[in-house]
A and B are shown apart, each in its own frame.
Chain A
Amino acid sequence: MVERSRTLVVLSHLVMVLGLLIVAFPLYLAIIASTHTAQQIVQAPMPLLPGGNVVDTFRSALFGGGDGAGSTAPAGRMLWVSLVTALVIALGKIAISLLSAFAIVYFRFPLKNFFFWAIFVTLMLPVEVRIMPTYKVVSDLGMLNTYAGLTIPLIASATATFLFRQFFLTVPDELVEAARVDGAGPMRFFKDILLPLSKTSIAALFVIQFIYGWNQYLWPLLVTTSEDMYPVVIGIKRMIAGGDAANDWNIVMATAILAMLPPAIVVVLMQKWFVKGLVDTEK
């Protein structure tokens, strides 16, 4: 910065700490709640310092066995469903988009522009606005309560295709020429040159899509009706039922922490790619 003013530095830190407190408070409260028993939380105001019930709470959250009014299904299974869903969505999207972007950028074929626009249009409509008919298709195909039903309809969007198309367009033509001179066919070029070059784009996209998949709510709410196919985000919502006092809030909050942890870890550890992914996917 230009000037060195002590007051400004102090003020900056003050504002940031204040912002941090507001952002962190809901998370802090969730952590605290998960360390108490359900009875302690129901007595308003709940304690604001950690208690000693951590192991019990997380055990009931992970393996089931709470006695709240809502669902008491074990979060362990739900976390697994969420993980599979998020991975299939992220990897599936990346795989099909790499292939189609490769076709669009490196080949000339009839109706190319038509297909390009057909894919482009899908960018515009999130699954939220076409839930009813999409639900009908999935149910007609017998895909309710399956991983396929949870994931494939969410793969049907073109964000990734565009990202890769943009990136491929920046790859120098000399590389293709050199590959051709050396006798490499298109798939060889794709595998040995294009894929290694795309590594950072793939990582960035993976972070964004993993979080997108993990945090889905409306879609799984519609296509899953059996407890063993609930992703964890749905599971939390179903644990809350009846009056406030009837719920095991400590277990609800422990499950919420378990649900936040994987995407939070991905975001924090892969921060560099995360920021790149955000900026790239929105261009």
Chain B
Amino acid sequence: MEKRVLFKSAWLPWVLLAPQLIVISVFFFWPAGQALLQSFQLQDTFGTSTEWVGMDNFKSLFADRSYLESFKTTAFFSVLVAVLGIGISLVLAVFADRIVRGAMFYKTFLIVPYAVAPAVAGVLWLFMFSPTLGVVAYALGKLGIDWNYLLNSNHAMALIIMAAVWNQISYNFLFFLAGLQSIPKSLVEAAAIDGAGPWRRFWSIQLPLLSPTTFFLLVINIVYAFFNTFGIVDATTQGGPGQDTMILVYKVYNDGFKNGDLGGSAAQSVILMAIVIVLTVVQFRYVEKKVQY
């Protein structure tokens, strides 16, 4: 992909590129390199001495039960967030797509959660589910469920999953709606003439044609659950009770900033980077091959 006609100048392109290059080298490449370097080093808490330890940080990380637990917690959390978020928004989008009158009204309301910061979403859900004053916790108590996310790790996990799904619903909904609206009307009509009811049409036509969107959203939602839910966790459970909602990003912060384990935290960052890179590559390879809007 190249333009046929180009400008010629020996210095102008460099001047134009300079601001971006300076910013990404100082705040991106340098720190990312540092993380890589630090992950092979052991530094004392005051930063006075540094020792080269090779793969030791990674070895001790994978020997650490709590890190492996955190991996499992994150996997469980992100899969549930992705599946629930995608499922709910798909249902909403399919019905919204059928609505002629008032569609704009529903859409406007459904996109508002996107504007809410994850940390604020966390506070809102905390307020509903707080064991002492939450309205929903109170209602659950009336139903005989003794809700306390501070003590019960299943409750804590449920709380952050609900907040995360809520926060991400607008995004999924908009993509599904756009996907549904780009399905040619003639296909749906042809199926209807052949006698396929709405239910049948959804499973045989709409859902298969939405598969690229669904796959794309799966990757996006997992990335979201991995990285952007820090605010939700910090505002609600802070990794507790115990370590039961300690997702990987929260653990990097917790170990690095609160416990001063720089090498371990850097090693964790490097592993996270590897995960994002894999996810991005998966997404790009797939999108290149099969995207059809």
Contacts and interface: CB of A to CB of B under 8 A. Distances in A.
B266 A132 contact: yes
A129 B269 CA distance: 5
Interface string A214-245: 11111001100000000001101100100111
A123 B280 contact: yes
Given A96-B20, A260-B120, A29 B127 contact: yes
B145 interface: no
B135 interface: yes
B271 to A, nearest CB: 9
B49 interface: no
A106 B106 contact: no
A19 B110 contact: yes
Interface stretch (B2-10, B59-67, B69-77, B152-160): B2-10
A259 B118 CA distance: 12
Contact of B198 (A3, A105, A118, A266): A3
A249 interface: yes
Interface of A: 1-3, 5, 8-9, 11-13, 15-16, 19-20, 22-27, 29-30, 33, 41-42, 44-46, 48, 95-97, 99-100, 102-109, 112, 115, 118-119, 122-126, 128-134, 136-138, 152-153, 155-158, 161, 169, 173, 176-177, 180, 185-187, 189, 211, 214-218, 221-222, 233-234, 236-237, 240, 243-245, 249, 252-253, 256, 259-260, 263-264, 266-268, 271, 274-275, 278-279, 282-283
Given A99-B19, A211-B114, A215-B120, 9 more contacts: A1-B98, A26-B128, A45-B139, A99-B20, A125-B32, A129-B272, A236-B120, A240-B123, A271-B108
B231 interface: yes
29 contacts: A1-B98, A12-B98, A13-B99, A16-B99, A24-B109, A26-B124, A103-B13, A103-B14, A103-B17, A106-B3, A109-B14, A118-B24, A124-B273, A128-B227, A130-B28, A132-B35, A133-B33, A137-B34, A161-B20, A215-B115, A215-B116, A215-B120, A240-B235, A243-B132, A256-B123, A266-B115, A267-B112, A268-B108, A279-B293
A122 B24 contact: yes
Contacts of B114: 211, 267
A263 B115 contact: yes
Contacts of A118: 21, 24, 29
Please classify the interface of chain A as helix (H, G, I), strand (E, B), loop, or mixed, using the class held by over half of its residues.
helix
Given A16-B92, A16-B96, A96 B125 contact: no
A203 B276 CA distance: 28
Contacts of A155: 23, 27
B115 A218 contact: no
Given A134-B27, A244-B130, A253-B127, A268 B253 contact: no
Interface in B240-280: 249, 252-253, 256-257, 262, 265-266, 269, 272-273, 276-277, 280
Contact of A8 (B98, B116, B272, B291): B98
B115 A136 contact: no
Contacts of B56: none
Q: Which of A3, A16, A155, A249 has the most CB of B within 10 A?
A: A16
B27 A173 contact: no
Contacts of B273: 124-125, 129-130
